[in-house]
Each structure stands twice: as structure tokens, then as C-alpha cells.
């Protein structure tokens, strides 16, 4: 049995540190970022039961990433964008965070196809859309259709942090399933009085 050092775990057997085959340098760059655990999604089986994940590696290659963890603090410092989508490998929709410093005048903008949902995570912001101006505090939500010009600013004395989700082509309907059948009834009752 060969014992491999932590630094060797990303390399197939027989490779030396720094040895790269054609095309692998790009693939290696794509794997950088947040911690990603490779477990293939999907599979058959009975409803309510989670499919068994296949082995995480086949012939030394990482499979498709199906989940990742990070934090806004890990994605950057100071004012500006936090590239959540790329750091976590999200491909189904756009998602970013923005940190606005105090007294920041936002940018009026719109999109060709992507609707946006803004969530005020921390602080307060001013939203200007179609002649209407609103102030949103922590927990505040704002949605704009893709082609609707909007402007989000922070005229206040404290920093503001927004979490923004973008997408197009509609809602996918409820397609969630409980992994443990015992949770079905508990989930159905959750939040109901």
C-alpha cells in the first residue's frame, strides 16, 4: 500500500509535483475556490430515498461538483462584488453579493434576460425604480424584471450588504424530496399553525 501525502492527493499515481499534462492546467484552475465535495447528483431509486453517491474519484479525476461551502468574508474584503456563483460553482442561476460603503451612489442598470431578486443582508439601501423610491432595511426584498431599469444605492452612514440572485426562464415548480421518509409529515407541518 502506498501512503500519499496531502499534497499528492490531487495527482494521479506516478506523477511528480509540478508535472502537468496537456489541458490539466486549465482544469486545475477551475477547481480552485471554495471547498467542493464531488458527489454525483441524481440516480434512480424509490421516492423519498436518497440515491447512493458514486465514488468521489474515478481514475484520479474529480467528478461534477454538487455542493460547496464558503462565506462572504472568504470571497473578498472591502466594498465591491463578491462572486458567489463562480466561487461555489453555481450554474443554474446567477448569484452574487455586493458590499456598498456608506454614501455610495449606485448604478442605474437593466439586463437583457435576467430578472434579479435583491435581499438586504445587512444595513439599509435606497432603491429607485420607475419613478418610485424606497428604503429597505435588513431582511428587505426587491425584485426587478430583466429590462426594468433600477438603481440601488447606500446613502446611509453604515455599510450595506446585498445578496442578489438572477435568473431567467421561469420557476421550476416544487421538486424537492425528503431523504428520510420520516421527515415527510414533519416537513408538511413546518411553519403551519
pLDDT for residue 41 is more than 50: no
Which pLDDT value is given to residue 61? 61
* Domains of the chain by start residue, with CATH: 6-69 (no CATH), 73-167 (2.60.120.10)
* Max Cα distance, the chain (Å): 70
Percent over 90 (pLDDT), the chain: 52
Q: What is the mean pLDDT of residues 48-76?
A: 67
Which pLDDT value is given to residue 108? 96
pLDDT for residue 166 is more than 50: yes
pLDDT for residue 75 is more than 80: yes
Which pLDDT value is given to residue 1? 43
pLDDT in tens, 84-128: 999 999 999 999 999 999 999 999 999 999 999 999 999 999 999
Q: What is the pTM of this model?
A: 0.64
Report whether 82 contacts 97 (CB < 8 A): yes
CA-to-CA separations, 174 to 117, 119, 156, in angstroms, rounded: 19, 21, 38
Amino acid at each position: 500500500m502506498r501512503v500519499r501525502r496531502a499534497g499528492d492527493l490531487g495527482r494521479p499515481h506516478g506523477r511528480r509535483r509540478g508535472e502537468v499534462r496537456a489541458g490539466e492546467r486549465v482544469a486545475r484552475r477551475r477547481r480552485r475556490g471554495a471547498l467542493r465535495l464531488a458527489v454525483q447528483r441524481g440516480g434512480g431509486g424509490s421516492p423519498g430515498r436518497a440515491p447512493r453517491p458514486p465514488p468521489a474519484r474515478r481514475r484520479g479525476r474529480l467528478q461534477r461538483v454538487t455542493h460547496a461551502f464558503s462565506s462572504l468574508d472568504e470571497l473578498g474584503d472591502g466594498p465591491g462584488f463578491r462572486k458567489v456563483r463562480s466561487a461555489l460553482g453555481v450554474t443554474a442561476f446567477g448569484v452574487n453579493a455586493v458590499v456598498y460603503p456608506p454614501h455610495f451612489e449606485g448604478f442605474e442598470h437593466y439586463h437583457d434576460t435576467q430578472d434579479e431578486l435583491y435581499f438586504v443582508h445587512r444595513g439599509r439601501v435606497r432603491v429607485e425604480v420607475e419613478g418610485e423610491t424606497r428604503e429597505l432595511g435588513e431582511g428587505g426584498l426587491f425584485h426587478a424584471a430583466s429590462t426594468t431599469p433600477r438603481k440601488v444605492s447606500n446613502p446611509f452612514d453604515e455599510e450595506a450588504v446585498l445578496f442578489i440572485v438572477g435568473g431567467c426562464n421561469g420557476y421550476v415548480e416544487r421538486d424537492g424530496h425528503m431523504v428520510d421518509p420520516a421527515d415527510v409529515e414533519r416537513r408538511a407541518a413546518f411553519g403551519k399553525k
